[in-house]
Amino acid sequence: MTQPSSVLSIAGSDSGGGAGIQADLKAFAAHGVHGLSAIAALTAQHTRGVTAVHVPPVNFLRAQIDACFDDFDVGAVKLGMLASAEVIHAVADALETYRPRYVVLDPVMVATSGAKLLEDAALDALRTRLLPLASIVTPNIPEAELLTGMRIADADAAAATMARLREGGAPAVLLKGGHLAEGDKVIDRYVDDDASLEFIHDRLDIDGHGTGCTLASAIAANLCRGLSLRAAVEAATDYIEAALLAAYRPGRSNVSVLGHFAGGRPL
């Protein structure tokens, strides 16, 4: 029996089960890859908001990462909620040690509920340490604005912001378009050294929770399965649409959790 590749998520835990590590592991399983996790933060969270955040000691985070690389063939790493500069530096140090082939950076800064998940001092560390180590960065509009200090109001501003992120060291950028008003369509914009693409889907009247986490995890899983970066991104955006269409409401709010296993394996 050959050893399969695994995908490692270094991110925060969501006690409500809709986002973070919990969403990542479901997305990995839906894509048929083995999921690993190193928990960088714990949140007390449900569909109505985040009530508390606890950041474990960074030496314990590093121990989790070391344990994963020591025993598994880590084909890709997905980065999510990294709440402090100290955590970001610890993760960057580990990535520089192990040099995984693919790193998908989801720069989690603000929860769907509006709760802030990243300390101000960590923003510069994210820019300088993690962007150059990433294979692709997947911000939404508010996250891209925070990372670059640029305002995104239209397609031209989106393109300029993506260019700024690439100048900061990211080889490829997927700018998620859900927050940009463009009629009844959502346009996710992708750029790398050789291509500039748009992935267009119908705008759904669904208040989805964990979409960014799940999208980045699906990209990482697709890369682990051997898809090219562009193909991995396109397949992941289609997967998110299917998961949103199968979303459900397990809590008392109107926020929906994605149906990660809608239709079985997406590919």
If you ran DSSP here, which 8-state letter would residue 5 be given? E
Reading the chain (267 residues) residue by residue, the pLDDT tens digits are 667 789 999 999 999 999 999 999 999 999 999 999 999 999 999 988 889 989 999 999 999 999 999 999 999 999 999 989 999 999 999 999 999 999 999 998 765 555 556 677 788 899 999 999 999 999 999 899 989 999 998 989 999 999 999 999 999 999 998 767 677 888 999 999 999 999 998 888 888 888 999 999 999 999 999 999 999 999 999 999 999 999 999 999 988 899 999 855 444
Return the pLDDT at 114: 54
d(CA 161, CA 115): 24
Return the pLDDT at 267: 40
d(CA 45, CA 16): 5
d(CA 181, CA 153): 8
Of 81, 159, 79, 88, the closest CA to residue 127 belongs to: 88
pTM: 0.94
Return the pLDDT at 3: 74
- State the residue for tokens 């839906």: 30
Return the pLDDT at 110: 64
d(CA 232, CA 179): 22
Of 149, 179, 178, 154, the closest CA to residue 164 belongs to: 149
Return the pLDDT at 109: 78
Domain limits, the chain: 5-257
- Considering only the top CATH level, what class is 5-257? alpha beta
Q: Point out which residues pair with 116 in neighbouring strands.
A: 110
CB atoms within 10 A of CB 88: 26
Return the pLDDT at 116: 59
Q: Point out which residues pair with 83 in neighbouring strands.
A: none
Return the pLDDT at 112: 55
Alpha helices by DSSP H, the chain: 20-30, 58-71, 85-98, 120-125, 141-148, 155-167, 211-224, 229-245
85 touches 122 (CB < 8 A): yes
Backbone torsions φ then ψ of 260, nearest 5 degrees: -65, -25
Return the pLDDT at 263: 56
Return the pLDDT at 30: 95
Indicate the Cα dihedral angle 105, 120, 54, 40, nearest 10°.
20
Return the pLDDT at 5: 86
